[in-house]
Structure 1
Amino acid sequence: MFTTEIEQIPERRTLWEQTAQRLQTLIANGTLAPGTRLTENALAEQMGVSRAPLREAIRHLINVGLLVSEPYKGVRVLELTREGLHQLYEYRTGIEQMAFRSLWPKRGARSFADLDHRQARLLEAIDDGDSALAIDRELELHQWCYELSGNTLLLDAWTRIKPHLRCYFVLHQRAHNRAGPARQSHDSYIEHAKGESLPAALDFIEAHMKQGFDQVIAHLR
């Protein structure tokens, strides 16, 4: 009971962090299209924030690679390319396999219950048809392995690519014409995460990351 109450306490974020999250959402849902150049004054007015937190948010999104700063040209939204998505796929597959190697001896009933809980929350979002929430919940499910690994460098790497994955998942939804992943798409992932064979889990991760990837690549113009 006490744990449940703790989990219900909302995460507190500074104004610039809230602004960065809103910008990520605008980029992910296509409101700020790839390649769009940002005008600080207009964006601050549109979002109803002062320029100071907006600058901090923009600086953060430049650091994580969602925005690109060009000398004498200003700031623009990152353009997703086939080459960039291939690099994202390879990098994400590699760090998730590393996380599984680290977490494997740390698994137990509590960690499995946590994974099941994350899966239930994802299914809830899918059933509700909430595409944005489904993306958040899918990221939350995959974050399980990085948290359990106990490797802070891996968790930091995951945190840095999450904004890119959020944009990728939006493309994935559009390419497959659905709100979020298919209901059964993570059943085998969870089965392997709880299984007895690490090599089988590592092989499956590579296959899982590849699901629908070619269709997303073909969807890019």
Structure 2
Amino acid sequence: MNEQGGRGFIRIPKATFRAHIVDGLRSAILKGEISPGAQVTESSLAEQFGVSRGPLREAMRQLIDEGLLVTIPYTGTHVVELSVDDVREIYSMRVNLEIFAFELVWEKRDEAFRQGLLSRQAELTRCIDSGDDVASIDAELQLHGFVYEVSGHKILQKTWESIRGRLQLYWAAHHRAHGIRGPRRDGHDSYVANALGESLDVMRTEIRAHMARGGQQTEDFLLSSNAGKLERSDVQARATR
């Protein structure tokens, strides 16, 4: 007999089971299998993933906290869908958040900070080289998230977590639409070099420029997507006349 009473299997801890559901649901959203704006229900997801509603409900709650799902009164839970104005607000907030995070840690940077940042850059490069787009996007956000974690500022960390899921979702959609396999391999070289450099003012400038590039790319993608939707709607409308 084993430690589980001789039944021949090991019971998966509830937290681990929930994490598996979260990973599966997050992956489905980021791969476009569940599209932005789509409504998700416990019954349909329970059937799709072959799980009970209890842990699924907890998984959905986590993805709401991550910013991938949103609950709208009287209409249910949906995959987040952002407008161009939403993206502009997120990126303008992100610039100020990241500058503030570096201001908090600048004088505290040590060898552990250096090694931690370089380790995350190396993981991002590894994911890009492997051609895993979803993992690359997550690794990019892990790299940017490092300074928030080191800051020790809990409200700042919570605010970052509330927007990172939305960034993840739209970067994934943007990459799918344009056949991109992850971020540019050298896209964070300047960011990391300046984060480990001597001048906080230079890092502030780097953050503004880095975020401006990402924000503009996301805006362009959303504008082109919306134009495509309008064109398809117009074609369908003419076809029904």
Range class of TM-score, shorter chain: 0.7 to 0.9
The C-alpha deviation readout for 1:116-167, integer Å capped at 9, x for no partner, is: 1111111111111111111121111112111222222222222222211211
- Contact 1:37 1:77 (8 Å CA) reproduced: yes
Q: Find the residue that maps to 2:77 and give its secondary structure.
A: strand
CA contact (8 A) 1:172 1:212 kept: no
- CA distance in 2 between counterparts of 1:175 and 1:92 reads 24
Aligned ranges 1:188-207 → 2 under 5 Å: 188-207=190-209
Instruction: List runs of 5+ in structure 1 lacking aligned partners.
Output: 1-11
* Distance verdict in 2 for CA 1:88–1:18, change over 3 Å: farther
**TM-superposed deviation, 1:61:** 2.9
Cα distance between partner residues in 2 of 1:155 and 1:16: 23
Please tell me whether residue 117 in structure 1 is matched to residue 119 in structure 2. yes
| In structure 1, C-alpha distance between the alignment counterparts of 2:36 and 2:95, rounded to whole Å | 24
More moved, 91-100 vs 162-171: 162-171
Listed as ranges, the gaps of 5+ residues in structure 2 are: 1-13, 227-241
Q: Give the number of equivalent residue pairs.
A: 210
Instruction: Tell me the residue number matched to 1:161.
Output: 163
Alpha-carbon distance change, 62 to 121 in structure 1, aligned in 2, over 3 angstroms: closer
CA contact (8 A) 1:175 1:215 kept: no
Task: Please tell me whether residue 70 in structure 1 is matched to residue 44 in structure 2.
Answer: no
**1:16-55 Cα distance to aligned partner (Å, 9 max, x none):** 3432332222222211111211232121011121001111
Paired residue type of 2:57: R
Q: CA deviation at 1:70?
A: 3.1
Seen in structure 2, the aligned counterparts of structure 1 residues 184 and 63 have a Cα distance that, compared at 3 Å, is closer
For the structure 1 residues 52 and 88, does the alpha-carbon distance in structure 2 shift closer, same or farther, using more than 3 Å as the test? same
How far apart, in 2, do the equivalents of 1:157 and 1:70 lie? 20
Please tell me whether Structure 1 or Structure 2 has the larger radius of gyration of its CA atoms.
Answer: 2
Spell out structure 1 runs of 4+ moving beyond 4 A. Answer: none
